[in-house]
Amino acid sequence: MFRIKVSDNFSAAHHIEGYPGDCSNLHGHNWKVVIAIRAEKLDELGMACDFREAKTILKEILNKLDHTNLDNHPWFTNCNPTSERIAQVIFERLSERLPENLKLEAVEIFESDSTSVEYRELSA
**8 A C-beta contact, residue 31 and residue 83:** yes
**Whether pLDDT at 85 is above 90:** yes
Distance CA 94, CA 53 (A): 12
Domains of the chain with bracketed CATH? 2-119 (3.30.479.10)
**Whether pLDDT at 38 is above 90:** yes
Mean residue pLDDT across the chain: 95
Q: Give the whole-number percent of the chain exceeding pLDDT 70.
A: 98
Instruction: Tell whether the torsion through CA atoms of 71, 73, 79 and 81 is positive or negative.
Output: negative
Residues with Cβ < 8 Å from 87, sequence gap 6 or more?
A: 107, 108, 109, 117, 118, 119
